[in-house]
Chain A
Amino acid sequence: MDIWQLGLASQVEHVRTKAVSAEDVASAYFERIEAVDDRIGSYLRLDREGAMAQARMVDEQVRAGRDPGPLAGACIALKDIFVTKGVETTCGSKILEGFVPPYESTVSERLKAAGAVILGKANMDEFAMGSSTEHSAYRICRNPWDLDRVPGGSSGGSAAAVAAGLCGVAMGTDTGGSIRQPAALCGVTGLRPTYGRVSRYGMIAFASSLDQGGPMGRSAEDCALVLEAIAGRDPADSTSLDEPVGRYQEACRTGFKGMCVGIPKEYFREGLDPQVEAAVRRGIETLAANGATIKEVSLPHTEYAIAAYYIISPAEASSNLARYDGVRYGYRARDASDLMDMYCRSRAEGFGSEVKRRIMLGTYVLSAGYYDAYYGRAQKVRTLIADDFRKAFEDCDVMVTPTSPVTAFKLGSRMSDPLQMYLADMYTISCNLAGLTGMSIPCGMDGQGLPIGMQVLAPALGEERLFRVAAGYQRLTDWHRRWPEVAQAQEAE
C-alpha cells in the first residue's frame, strides 16, 4: 500500500518513527496532485516551497530526537478561506486576486505548530457562498466519484482533495453545511465543530455568527487528531470558547454502546431522495444492532430554518464584505471617474453573481423599516430552532439524519436556480443556527455509485459524542475506505 492510502494517524506515526520522511510524504502528494488534479480542480494554488521547507523541518526535528508534534508530516489542503502569510489567499474570489496576506490564520498557525505540512489552498465557492463549488471564480471543481458532477460546497475543493487522495486531511469551513454537504457528496468524513470551538481569526468571514472551521478527512479518527491540535481558546477571537479541549481520539475508541440516537422525523419527509433515505436508515439500523437505542424525536420549527438562514447569513455577509472596496487591497476598477464610481465598479467587477445576490439580500433585510420584519424575526426563529434542539436533546445523546437530500448533482444543473441550490443545505443549516456540532460520515452509495452521507448531530461541545458514534460506525463499515476510480488513475497509467 502506498503512503497516501494510509490514514492520517498512521502517516504521522510513520513520520514520527522515521519509517518514512515527511519530505517523502509531501513529495508523494505533490506527485499525485500533478497527475490527477488537472481533472478534478481541487486546488487553487500549491505552496510546494513552503510545504517542503516545513517537511524538512519536521524531519530535522525527528532526526534530532525532538517531538515533531502530533501532526508531524500530516499533509493538509487548506480551504482558500484561511489566510496564509506570504501565500496568496483569494477566498475563491476575483476581488482578492493577488492578495498576499501579511499574517497567518490561527488555524494554519496551530496546524504548522503541530508539525503539519500545508500543501496548498483548496478550491471553494466564492466567499463560501454556494453548495457546489461552481461559484469559484477560478476553476471548476469536479466530484472524484463522477467528474461530471459537483463535489458539493462550499468546501468542495477540500472534500474532493480528500476523496481523491490528494492530501492527508483538509480544512474546510461550515456556515450552513459547507463542510458536511461536500463531505457527503464526496464520500469523506467532515466535522463542523461547535461555534467557537475553533478560532475564526484569519478565517475570512462570510457570516460571523455561523462560520466555523473544521477538518475533513478519511475517517473520524483523522478528524479527531486534527481537531485536538486546532481547537481551543484564541485571545484574537472573542467568540472562541474558553472551554477545555475534549479528548477526541479517546472518544473514537470508546464506541457508542448505550447511547441514545434521536431520529428527527422532520428530516425524513418530502424532498429526500429514497436511496439516500434507505442508506441512512440502514446506517441507523447498524447503530441499533450494535448497542445504540433509537428514539424518534421532533424538531417542529425545522421548516423555517432555511428562511431564517437566508436572512441572517446574507445580512452578516453584506456587512463582512463591505471591506472589499478597492481602497486598501484587492481588485480596484481602473480609471474610475470618482469615488462612488470606483466603489461601484470595483465591487460589480470583483464579485461574482451569487455573492452580489447575497449582498443585495443582506443589505435589504438590514435596511431601516425592514430590519424588524426580517432580521429581527429571523433571530427569533433562530431562538425557536435552538429551543427545539434543547428539548429534543433532553431525550437523546445525538441525532442522526441525512446530510444532503440528494447525492452529487450534475455540474451546471442548479446554477440557474438559486433556490434549488439553497435546498442542498436543508438538513445542515439548523445545526449552525442552533450552535450545535455536526459530522457527516459515508454510509452508502446510490445506484450510480455516488456516495451518501449520514449526519450526526450533538449539542454544543458534544464533539466527543460525535466521535464515539462516527468512529464506532466506521469500525463496523467500510464506506469510508473506498476510493474513486480517479484516485487509482496514477498507477493505472
Chain B
Amino acid sequence: MNDELLAKYESVIGLEVHVQLKTDTKMFSRSRAAFGQEPNTLTDPVVLALPGALPVVNRKAVEYGIKIALATHSTIHEMSRFARKHYFYPDLPKGYQISQYEQPLATGGRVEIWHEDRRSEIALTRIHLEEDSGKNFHREGVDESLVDYNRAGVALAEIVSEPDFRSPEQAVAYLRALRQLVRYLGICDGNMEEGSLRCDANVSIRPRGQEKLGTKTELKNLNSFKAVKLALHYEIERHVALIEQGGEVVQSTLLWDAAAGQTRVIRTKEEAHDYRYFPEPDLPVLEVPRPWIDEVAAHLEELPLDRRQRFVDQYGLTDYDAGVLTDEWNLAEYFEEVVRLGGDPKKAANWIQTELLRLLKEDGRSIDEQPMSPKVLADLLARMASGELTGRNAKVVGERMYQTGRTVDEVREELGIRPPERDESVVEAVCRQVVDAHPDETARYRDGNKRLFGFFVGQVMKQDRNQDPKLVSKVLKRVLEG
C-alpha cells in the first residue's frame, strides 16, 4: 500500500500485556509453577478444579502486582476484588478464570518510553491479577486433543494501556520498556517466546484530524516483538483498504498467523463471549493496606530510567553509554560489579561496549551465558591501566578469557604473553638493531621523512610483540634522532 494513502489516516493502538509472575507457586494454590516440566506434573486439587477445592491468594503474587503498580506510578487500591470470568474450554479447569473485573488492584498509571529519540508517556488504564490457563495440544491426524495443566493457575498481572500509541513501532517501544521494567523488578522473565510476557493489541484508524475513534479490532497471539509490529502494520493496512474501498471495519477478534503473515478473524462482535462476571465468592476482598504498600515501596528495585541517570551522575558516563549499559538489568549489574571491584567506570563502560557486547552479539548470547566474571574483567582492566598489558594484548587476552572463563594470568601463560619489556636498555638494543638493519630508511628519516617513524615502530614491534608501544616510541625516537 502506498505511503500517501496510509498517511491520510492516524492509527490508534492500545495494548493488553500479560506478565507471568515469577512466583514459586501458583496464583491460588501451593502447586509449584515452572516452565518446561513433564505435562501435568505441576497440579493439585485446586489447579485441576477437583470438586470441593478452594483458591487461596498467593501473597507473593500480590506483592509483585504492587511492585508493577508502584513502578508505573499507578494508584493502588487498598480494597480490590477478584471476579469469575466464565467460558468453557478444556484448558480452563474450573470453567471460569479468577481475574479482577470491576475493582482491579491498580488504576491510572503511566510508563515513560523513548521512541525515535523522543520521550513520551503512555497512560495505563489498569493493572489486575489473574490466573493463567493450561495448554491444549491438537495433534495432526489424531481424533483427540490433550491438555497440559502445568501452566493452569500460574500467576499473571495484566497491564492494560490506554489507546495512546500512534504507530506499531511506538507500541513495540512500550512493550520493550515494560519488559525491561518487569525484568528490573525481578518479577518476570519477560520471555515472549516462552510466553512469560504476552501481548494482545487493539487497533483502529481514523482520518487525520478526526476526533472520533474508528471501529477497533483486537489482535491475539502476538508472541514476539516482531509479531506485534507486523500484525499491527498488516491490520492497519487492512483497515485503510477497507475504508478506502467504501467498506467498514467490523468489530472483531483476530488471530495473527505468523507463518502466513496475516490476521484471521476468530470471532465477531455478535459472537463475542458473555463472560458472566460476578464477584468471586470463595475469596474475601483483597486488602492491600498502606503499610504493605509502603514496605514494598521501601524495597523497590531501582527502575531503568533512574539507573540510567545515576550512571551519568555517578560514573560520568554519557547518556548514550548509560542507556546501553542499563538496557538489560543483568548487564547493568555486571558493569557495576566490575566497577565495585576496582574497574575504572569509563574504561569498564568502554570495554564492555566495544568488546564484550560485540562478542555477545556475535555469539547470540546474553551476559549471563558467558563465563567471564566481573572479577576477572576488573583484573584485566587493572592490568591495562598499570601498563602490564598492552591494549592490543588485552584485547587478545580478554577474548580468550571470554571464551574460556580463565583468569588473566592463566590466559597469558597459555598464549605465552609476557608483560611488556620495562628495561629501556633492552628496548634500546632492539631499536638499534632495527635501525642498523635499515640504513636507507634511517637516512631518509633523518633527512626529514618523519612519516617513516611508523615503519620503524612496526619493525621493532615485529621483533617482539610483547612490548609497550609507548616505550618503544620513546626509545626509538631517541635512537633515530640521537
Q: A327-B90, A327-B147, A367-B276 are in contact. Are A238 and B282 (CB under 8 A)?
A: yes
> Cα distance A203–B52 when bound, in Å?
5
> Cα distance A17–B50 when bound, in Å?
40
Which residues of B have CB within 8 Å of A328? 48-49, 93, 147
Residue of B nearest to A347 (CB): B88
> Cα distance A101–B45 when bound, in Å?
9
Inter-subunit contact A322/B281 (CB<8 Å): no
Instruction: Indicate if A430 sits at the interface (CB-CB under 8 A).
Output: no
Instruction: Indicate if A209 sits at the interface (CB-CB under 8 A).
Output: yes
Q: A322-B86, A322-B95, A363-B276 are in contact. Are A238 and B51 (CB under 8 A)?
A: no
Inter-subunit contact A96/B95 (CB<8 Å): no
> Cα distance A325–B53 when bound, in Å?
16
Inter-subunit contact B56/A339 (CB<8 Å): no
Tell me how far the C-beta of A198 lies from the nearest C-beta in chain B, rounded to whole angstroms: 13
Inter-subunit contact A101/B278 (CB<8 Å): no
Number of A residues, CB within 8 Å of B: 42
Instruction: Indicate if A145 sits at the interface (CB-CB under 8 A).
Output: no
Instruction: Indicate if A272 sits at the interface (CB-CB under 8 A).
Output: no
Inter-subunit contact A319/B284 (CB<8 Å): no
Q: A322-B88, A323-B49 are in contact. Are A238 and B281 (CB under 8 A)?
A: no
Which residues of B have CB within 8 Å of A207? 281
Q: Contact flags (1/0) for A225-246 with B, using CB distance below 8 Å? A: 0000000000111110000000
Q: Is the interface of A mostly helix, strand, loop or mixed?
A: loop
Instruction: Indicate if A105 sits at the interface (CB-CB under 8 A).
Output: yes
> Cα distance A200–B46 when bound, in Å?
13
Give residues 21-64 of B contacting A (CB, 8 Å).
45, 48-57
Residue of A nearest to B94 (CB): A323
Inter-subunit contact A200/B54 (CB<8 Å): yes
Give residues 193-218 of A contacting B (CB, 8 Å).
200-205, 207-209
Q: A208-B281, A238-B283, A367-B274 are in contact. Are A339 and B90 (CB under 8 A)?
A: yes
Residue of B nearest to A81 (CB): B52
Inter-subunit contact A239/B282 (CB<8 Å): yes
Number of B residues, CB within 8 Å of A: 29
Tell me how far the C-beta of B270 lies from the nearest C-beta in chain A, rounded to whole angstroms: 13
Inter-subunit contact B278/A319 (CB<8 Å): yes
Tell me how far the C-beta of A317 lies from the nearest C-beta in chain B, rounded to whole angstroms: 11
Instruction: Indicate if A331 sits at the interface (CB-CB under 8 A).
Output: no
> Cα distance A76–B278 when bound, in Å?
37
Instruction: Indicate if B96 sits at the interface (CB-CB under 8 A).
Output: yes
Residue of B nearest to A322 (CB): B95
Which residues of B have CB within 8 Å of A339? 90, 145
Which residues of A have CB within 8 Å of B128? none
Tell me how far the C-beta of B284 lies from the nearest C-beta in chain A, rounded to whole angstroms: 6
Residue of A nearest to B280 (CB): A208
Instruction: Indicate if B110 sits at the interface (CB-CB under 8 A).
Output: no
Tell me how far the C-beta of A339 lies from the nearest C-beta in chain B, rounded to whole angstroms: 7
Inter-subunit contact A103/B50 (CB<8 Å): yes
Inter-subunit contact A323/B95 (CB<8 Å): yes
Which residues of B have CB within 8 Å of A329? 48, 50
Which residues of A have CB within 8 Å of B56? 235-238
Q: A238-B55, A238-B56, A238-B282 are in contact. Are A322 and B50 (CB under 8 A)?
A: no
> Cα distance A40–B268 when bound, in Å?
55
Instruction: Indicate if B198 sits at the interface (CB-CB under 8 A).
Output: no
Pick the residue among A102, A201, A368 that contacts B274 (CB under 8 A).
A368
Which residues of B have CB within 8 Å of A96? 51
Inter-subunit contact A366/B278 (CB<8 Å): yes
> Cα distance A318–B86 when bound, in Å?
10
Which residues of A have CB within 8 Å of B51? 83, 89, 91, 96, 99, 101, 204-205, 323
Which residues of B have CB within 8 Å of A221? none
Instruction: Indicate if B216 sits at the interface (CB-CB under 8 A).
Output: no
Residue of A nearest to B40 (CB): A328
> Cα distance A91–B281 when bound, in Å?
20
Instruction: Indicate if A124 sits at the interface (CB-CB under 8 A).
Output: no
Which residues of B have CB within 8 Å of A203? 52
Which residues of A have CB within 8 Å of B274? 367-368
Inter-subunit contact B50/A319 (CB<8 Å): no
Inter-subunit contact B54/A237 (CB<8 Å): yes
Q: Contact flags (1/0) for B256-284 with A, using CB distance below 8 Å? A: 00000000000000000010111001111
Instruction: Indicate if A422 sits at the interface (CB-CB under 8 A).
Output: no
Which residues of B have CB within 8 Å of A399? none
Q: Contact flags (1/0) for A308-351 with B, using CB distance below 8 Å? A: 00000001101100110101110000000001000100000000
Pick the residue among A102, A205, A316, A325 that contacts B45 (CB under 8 A).
A102
> Cα distance A301–B125 when bound, in Å?
40
Residue of B nearest to A107 (CB): B52
> Cα distance A208–B86 when bound, in Å?
16
Which residues of A have CB within 8 Å of B94? 322-323
Q: A323-B95, A327-B147, A328-B93 are in contact. Are A315 and B278 (CB under 8 A)?
A: yes
Which residues of A have CB within 8 Å of B145? 339
Inter-subunit contact A205/B52 (CB<8 Å): yes
> Cα distance A366–B94 when bound, in Å?
17
Inter-subunit contact B282/A83 (CB<8 Å): no
Inter-subunit contact B96/A208 (CB<8 Å): no
> Cα distance A209–B84 when bound, in Å?
14
Pick the residue among A204, A209, A368 that contacts B52 (CB under 8 A).
A204
Instruction: Indicate if A371 sits at the interface (CB-CB under 8 A).
Output: yes
> Cα distance A201–B84 when bound, in Å?
19
Tell me how far the C-beta of B45 lies from the nearest C-beta in chain A, rounded to whole angstroms: 5
Which residues of B have CB within 8 Å of A319? 84, 86, 95-96, 276, 278
Inter-subunit contact A239/B284 (CB<8 Å): yes
> Cα distance A202–B51 when bound, in Å?
7
> Cα distance A237–B282 when bound, in Å?
8
Query: Which of A96, A203, A319, A368 gathers the greatest number of chain B CB atoms within 10 Å?
Result: A319
Instruction: Indicate if A267 sits at the interface (CB-CB under 8 A).
Output: no
> Cα distance A152–B76 when bound, in Å?
49
> Cα distance A343–B54 when bound, in Å?
23
Q: Contact flags (1/0) for A367-379 with B, using CB distance below 8 Å? A: 1100100010000
Inter-subunit contact B95/A83 (CB<8 Å): no
Q: A238-B284, A322-B94 are in contact. Are A375 and B54 (CB under 8 A)?
A: no
> Cα distance A367–B145 when bound, in Å?
30
> Cα distance A371–B145 when bound, in Å?
35
Q: A322-B96, A329-B50 are in contact. Are A371 and B278 (CB under 8 A)?
A: yes
> Cα distance A274–B56 when bound, in Å?
48
Tell me how far the C-beta of A359 lies from the nearest C-beta in chain B, rounded to whole angstroms: 11
> Cα distance A205–B52 when bound, in Å?
6
Residue of A nearest to B136 (CB): A339
Which residues of B have CB within 8 Å of A318? 276
Inter-subunit contact A325/B52 (CB<8 Å): no
Tell me how far the C-beta of A174 lies from the nearest C-beta in chain B, rounded to whole angstroms: 16
> Cα distance A235–B94 when bound, in Å?
21
Tell me how far the C-beta of B414 lies from the nearest C-beta in chain A, rounded to whole angstroms: 59
Tell me how far the C-beta of A395 lies from the nearest C-beta in chain B, rounded to whole angstroms: 30
Q: Contact flags (1/0) for A88-100 with B, using CB distance below 8 Å? A: 0101000010010
Q: Contact flags (1/0) for B83-107 with A, using CB distance below 8 Å? A: 0101010100111100000000000
> Cα distance A204–B54 when bound, in Å?
10
Tell me how far the C-beta of B12 lies from the nearest C-beta in chain A, rounded to whole angstroms: 25
Give residues 133-150 of B contacting A (CB, 8 Å).
145, 147
> Cα distance A144–B110 when bound, in Å?
68
Tell me how far the C-beta of B103 lies from the nearest C-beta in chain A, rounded to whole angstroms: 14
> Cα distance A273–B284 when bound, in Å?
40
Q: Can you report 16 residue pairs joining A to B where beta carbons are below 8 Å apart?
A: A91-B51, A99-B51, A102-B45, A200-B54, A205-B51, A207-B281, A238-B282, A239-B281, A239-B283, A322-B95, A323-B94, A323-B95, A325-B95, A367-B274, A371-B278, A375-B278
Given contacts A91-B51, A323-B94, 18 further A-B contacts (CB under 8 A): A82-B52, A83-B51, A101-B52, A201-B54, A208-B282, A235-B56, A238-B54, A238-B55, A238-B57, A238-B282, A239-B284, A316-B278, A316-B281, A319-B96, A322-B94, A323-B51, A343-B88, A367-B276
Q: Which 3 A-B pairs have the closest CB atoms?
A: A322-B95, A208-B281, A366-B276
Q: Which residues of B contact A (CB under 8 A)?
A: 45, 48-57, 84, 86, 88, 90, 93-96, 145, 147, 274, 276-278, 281-284
